[in-house]
Structure 1
Amino acid sequence: MDLAVRAEQLRSERQPFVEATVVRAQPPTSAHSGDRALVLADGTIEGFVGGQCTESSVREASRTVLEQGESMLLRVLPAGSGEFPDTPGATIAVNPCMSGGATEIFLEPRMPPIVVAVFGDSPVAEAVGEFARRVDYSVEQILGTSVPAEASVVIVASHGGDEAGVIRAALDAGSRYVGLVASRTRGAAVLDDVEPTDEERARLRTPVGLDIGARTPAEIGLSIVADIVRVARSGGLARSSGESGRRVEVPRGTGPKPRTAVDPVCGMTVTITESTPHLVLAGRTVWFCCPGCRRRYEKDDVA
């Protein structure tokens, strides 16, 4: 499998994933420095960064990486080992598998860019698009009142036209940030036509943009994109719940979070996928980090 081609495919499909790269490996681990894999949002691993116990640790850590949108250096150590040199800032996972060995794996989130949909062809609309692209956002033009389903941000900068219709379409589509370029008086009149609920009103902004004393179209565009960045960095564009910490946009269509279970033998939290080792006993499914723990559980259960 060509991971570079696969990664580009995931980006084109706007699917979040984690790039995992083995930085260091200590024998007898089966991984080697430079081994790579892609970890999808459902816990699927494509590529190779180690055996099943290591994969379990990588899956669990990747969930945190995707939720927080921050890279992580994961140190996977064999149980009872302290031989691997300490690395400040690393997250440690103890590997209960008997194969031994230690690895350091760098996990880097690859999130779809925030989509900013712009309605209008005014100079302010053009400036919003230019600044949004400069911060690596994806910019789309709204034609009619059809709002792209993936747009977390909608900016109405037409100075007329069916502004209320576009705003209503954006709210109905679930956009988290809907901004109208207008004076306070005219903006209030447009919102009266929209008739937003209290929850929808919390997603509306008019006048839109940070108050930086902007006068020119370029300055107004800058103030709008700066406010979008502020909201995005504070987690205001997040589409799914997550743990505390910095959150980033997760596009609709990502699907539910992967299920997890605790290995009853070693206590490791494992992400449940089709390849996760398991047993069905008396109608109950028991999940394991690796075949070794499953065999040990079977032996103890029989005994």
Structure 2
Amino acid sequence: MTDPEFGAHQPVEGWGVLERATELARSGEAFVLATVVWREGPTSGQRGSRAIYTASGEMHGWIGGACAEPVFIREAIATLEAGTPRLLALGASDRFGDLPQGAAAVAMSCQSEGALQIYLEPVVAVPHLVIVGSSPMATTLAALARQLDWRVELVSGSGFSEGLLSAQSILVVATQGHGDEEVLAAGLKAGPAYVGLVASDRRGHSIRARLAEQGFGDDQIETVRVPAGLDLGSTTHKEVAVSILAELVQLRAQGAFAVRIAPRAAARPTAVDPVCGMTVEVDAAAASLELAEGTFYFCCAGCRTSYARQRGVA
């Protein structure tokens, strides 16, 4: 099923989640792999249940019901941003037991009264480097980047298209005057994390002027690094490759290629369930109860029924 808030929530279970994780890792997309490592029933989450939440906002698998899922997604996003694993405990605070140092505990008082411990493991994508050109420098750069286990694509100018790039991609144009402007124009449209051109300062000024004539704004044109790489003075072709990779490694260490997490759908208003204390999103599907003093929202129908009985309106 597809949820407009959580993205495409695919009914993938068990080993299928691990297969999907392998596919995502090969494609270069960052994600969080979640595994239920402990449970105390009754709860719909089972020990060994797994789920994935991707940087693009998709969820695959199953770790628990309506109470656990929103908290899982919130904590998965935090895990992606931090880039470090964490243990998440969900349930009534008196059922957590002794938790390891650093574990995140979120009190939940759902009708099931169950409790879960979920291990969240971020899988951060390796850099995706697209090199356009067939020169010895381009070949050397590709070989060096592969030694770092980066995902590398080496293509000719005629074989390049913006479809090869994503917002996390690194583009190095080394076509040596053969269609530089065309490759850069296509690359800039994709908005990659880095665009570098192997050329002299003088040629760089000329190409930037031509890009401006094609309608590209100053903010886009200024993202093109010319010449690409650290300034090492007079160097050989192979040393130019080293200087470019050194610049990319430096930028990565500075966080320039950090994971970009897709913004969730427009934030919905929230309310606090007066029975269990859960924060719930207010929408047409939420369990609610209209009283004289206003509308109350609940995490589930059970909480709504309980509150209605308390107020004498069941």
Q: TM-score, normalised by structure 2?
A: 0.73
Alignment check: 8 A CA contact 2:128 2:170 kept: yes
Q: State whether structure 2 residue 38 is matched by structure 1 residue 21.
A: no
Partner of 1:117: helix, strand, or coil?
strand
**Alpha-carbon distance in structure 2 between the residues aligned to 1:261 and 1:107:** 27
**Cα shift at 1:297:** 4.8
1:154 is matched with 171
Query: Higher relative CO (CA 8 A, sep ≥ 6), structure 1 or 2?
Result: 1
Residue in structure 2 matching 1:262, options 250, 259, 270: 270
Alignment check: 8 A CA contact 2:289 2:297 kept: no
Q: Equivalences for 1:204-223 in 2 at 5 Å? A: 204-211=224-231, 215-223=235-243
Q: State whether structure 2 residue 287 is matched by structure 1 residue 279.
A: yes
**Cα shift at 1:269:** 4.1
Query: Which one-letter code corresponds to 1:248 in the other structure?
Result: V
**Cα shift at 1:224:** 1.9
Query: Which one-letter code corresponds to 2:106 in the other structure?
Result: A
Alignment check: 8 A CA contact 1:262 1:288 kept: no
Gaps in structure 2 of 5+ consecutive residues: 1-12
2:10 is matched with none
**Alpha-carbon distance in structure 2 between the residues aligned to 1:43 and 1:272:** 21
Residue in structure 2 matching 1:180, options 197, 205, 209: 197
2:259 is matched with 248
1:191–1:146: structure 2 CA closer, same or farther, 3 Å change rule?
Answer: same
**Alpha-carbon distance in structure 2 between the residues aligned to 1:125 and 1:101:** 57
**Cα shift at 1:92:** 2.1
**Alpha-carbon distance in structure 2 between the residues aligned to 1:286 and 1:198:** 51
2:180 is matched with 163
Q: State whether structure 2 residue 148 is matched by structure 1 residue 135.
A: yes
RMSD: 3.7
2:211 is matched with 194
Query: Which one-letter code corresponds to 2:226 in the other structure?
Result: T
1:76–1:256: structure 2 CA closer, same or farther, 3 Å change rule?
Answer: closer
Q: Size of the alignment, in residue pairs?
A: 286
Partner of 1:64: helix, strand, or coil?
helix
Partner of 2:89: helix, strand, or coil?
strand
Q: State whether structure 2 residue 85 is matched by structure 1 residue 71.
A: yes
Partner of 2:120: helix, strand, or coil?
strand
Worse-matched range after superposition: 264-273 or 93-102: 264-273
2:106 is matched with 93
**Cα shift at 1:222:** 3.1
Alignment check: 8 A CA contact 1:118 1:155 kept: yes
Q: Which has the larger radius of gyration?
A: 2
Query: Which one-letter code corresponds to 2:102 in the other structure?
Result: G
2:61 is matched with 46
**Alpha-carbon distance in structure 1 between the residues aligned to 2:301 and 2:232:** 60
Alignment check: 8 A CA contact 2:272 2:298 kept: yes
1:12–1:99: structure 2 CA closer, same or farther, 3 Å change rule?
Answer: same
1:191–1:98: structure 2 CA closer, same or farther, 3 Å change rule?
Answer: same
